[in-house]
Each structure stands twice: as structure tokens, then as C-alpha cells.
Amino acid sequence: MKVTINDVAKHAGVSIKTVSRVTNKEPSVRQTTIDKVNEAIAALNYQPNVAARNLAGTKSYVIAFVYDNPNAYYVIDMQNGILSSCKQRGYELLIHPCDAKSDSICEELVDLVRHARLSGLVLTPPLSEDPNVLAALDKINANYVRIIAGEAADQHGGLSVLVNDKHGAISITQHLIDLGHKEIAFLAGDHQHESTKERLAGFRQAMLANQLNVDEKYIISGEYSFESGVSGAKSLLSNSNKPTAIVACNDEIAAGALFAARLEGVQIPAELSIVGFEDSPFSRQTWPKLTTVHQPNQKIAQIATELLIAKQSKSEDNLTDQVFIPEPVIRDSSSAPDLVKHN
């Protein structure tokens, strides 16, 4: 026979409402009461029905993770981070991949909010940076937190978790410069992502700060994919004047560049240093392992979810944006340039 909330309340000697407050992790419940209810839940092996809880009350306990990103490692890290916070707070996770370039993306997300009875959304780039998407969600008073690239909140405002990609790009480019590199190329990601613009801006800033020329032929447009890294590196290595180092916009691009270089017989890092961004498993699965920039995507997702729940429940006042500063991780794919082979 299925155990009900009534059984838990009777076993714990409290009201049904109190059991509900404990299972919903609402504030202002005494610890002794929480312990008593949790003991009853464990003794009876009670399993709260989240779907029924959503239907029964005015408050929703479902959070949607909305994304359009080809990087499976990024998606998994984000999913695990959000899920971790959801489990701690008694929320369910709805995963919603979509096409950010679709003409109907705004209508799709508005329908999602209305029909899924969401508590809120964790928006990731490029959706979190699309003013049309944000305007459509604001129009229906949707609750959301954005994960975005930048040093400070953009004009839209709202609650955000910011990743200072520019700082990370400056640091990793400076690492190459400190090794003695002067001819440094940049393989870009999707132009739709602000992270691409921020990382390129950081690269340029580091080069200019060291009085080094930024050769526009060394700036290669692309996408956040392995294949884009292969294509970009092949283009750079076909030039008579080859760079001594490459800054790739993420680790997948860097891994592709490394693959292309090895096909061309170029030794890494003796003849060409390659660095990535994000510190994904790609960076540790290549040979040699990639020097990269650590971006704690799982932690970023956890913080975004906690902000979203706090914002929805109004359990905390004066919620503020959170900022993450990516830092370099030095491995085996970068070293001082072999100037003899490049002269």
C-alpha cells in the first residue's frame, strides 16, 4: 500500500502542512521539527510526488535548463550542476535543447513556460544573450537567471552569473607571450556567442599591451567544434608565414587544431604551441594534454540555479550577480618557440 503524506504526518505527530513545508525545504521550520519529519519519511520510505505537488499548489517545483550548444561536455556539466542544486532544494529538472537560430524560438520558450508550469529557467548562451528572447520572456513575467559572458551586467540587467572570458583570454595569451611567442593566431568560435567576442577582445588586449602586432590573417572565424579547429589550423599552416602559437576559443577547437597540426607533421609544442579554453575533458584526452583556461561550468550552473530558486521563493533579499574569473591551467601543449625553425 502506497505511503501518503497523511501517514507521514501521523507518524511524526505534526500537521500535513508541516510535512509539506519540510519536503519543500521552506524556511523558518525548526530543526527539531525537520528532523522529526525526516525520520518519519525514512521510516515509512515515503516518496513525495513532485508532479502531484505541482498540480496541488500554486508554486511550481520544476526548473528548465534551456540551451543550444554543440559541446556535449558543456551541456553535461551544466546539467549536473543544475541537477545538484535541484535535488538539494526538492526541485525537478526539465532539459530543453533548442535551436537559437530558429525564427520561432521566442514562441517556443513562451509556450514552454506556460505549458510546463515552470518555477523558472536557467538560460545559457546564446539564448541568454538574445534580446528578443529576453523581451519575450519578460512580457509574460517569466522567472529566469542568465549565464552570460562579460565583466559586468549588460544593458538588459536582471539576475545573472557572469563569466569573465576576457580576463581568461588575456591570461592565456600572456602565458604564450611570456614564453617568447610573438606570432600568435586566434581560432574563433560562433559569432553568435558573446564569449567569442570577449575572448577575442582579451586576446587583442594582451597582444597590444605587449606591443605585439595583431595580424588579421591570423584571426580565423569558426564555430565551437572540433571540425572548425581542424579547418582553422589547416588554413593557418598553409601560409608561408606560420604562427608559432594558437589561442583556440575552446578546447574542442584546440583539439581539432592539434589534430590538424599532427597530420601536417608539425610537432606540438616544439614547433607550434596550442592552448584552449574551458578545461573540458577534451583538454585532458588529447596528446599532448592541452594548456587551457579553467571554467568551472558545473559550479556556475549550481550558483545560477540557487539564485533562481532564491529569486522565485523570495527567501533572500538583495540578490546580486555572481562573477567567475577563469584562470589558466598549464599543461604540455605550450612551450617556448623554436625560433630557429621559424626563421
Residue 3: pLDDT band with limits 50, 70, 90: confident
What is the per-residue pLDDT for 57? 47
Q: pLDDT per residue over 19-35, tens digit each?
A: 777 776 666 678 888 88
Residue 44: pLDDT band with limits 50, 70, 90: confident
* Euclidean distance between CA atoms 242 and 67, whole angstroms: 37
Residue 97: pLDDT band with limits 50, 70, 90: very high
Question: Is a pLDDT exceeding 60 seen at residue 50?
Answer: no
Integer CA distances (angstroms), 281 to 3, 165, 326, in order: 43, 19, 16
Mean pLDDT score, 64-72: 89
Residue 55: pLDDT band with limits 50, 70, 90: very low
* Euclidean distance between CA atoms 271 and 287, whole angstroms: 15
What is the per-residue pLDDT for 266? 96
C-alpha atoms less than 13 angstroms from C-alpha of 76 in its C-beta half-sphere: 5
Q: pLDDT per residue over 174-184, tens digit each?
A: 999 999 999 99
The radius of gyration computed from the CA coordinates of the chain, to the nearest angstrom, equals 24
Integer CA distances (angstroms), 7 to 21, 34, 131, 179, 330, in order: 15, 16, 49, 68, 57
What is the per-residue pLDDT for 24? 65
AA identity, residue 31: Q
Mean pLDDT check: name the lowest of 42-46, 192-196, 208-212. Answer: 42-46
Element at 137 (helix H, strand E): helix 131-139
AA identity, residue 92: E
Query: What residue ranges define each of the domains in the chain, with the CATH number in brackets?
Result: 5-48 (1.10.260.40), 62-163+296-325 (3.40.50.2300), 165-295 (3.40.50.2300)
What is the per-residue pLDDT for 208? 97
What is the per-residue pLDDT for 187? 98
Question: Is a pLDDT exceeding 90 seen at residue 239?
Answer: no
Angle at which helices 251-263 and 226-237 cross, to 10°: 50
Question: Is a pLDDT exceeding 50 seen at residue 200?
Answer: yes
Comparing C-alpha atoms, which of 92, 6, 97 is closest to residue 55? 92
* Euclidean distance between CA atoms 301 and 193, whole angstroms: 18
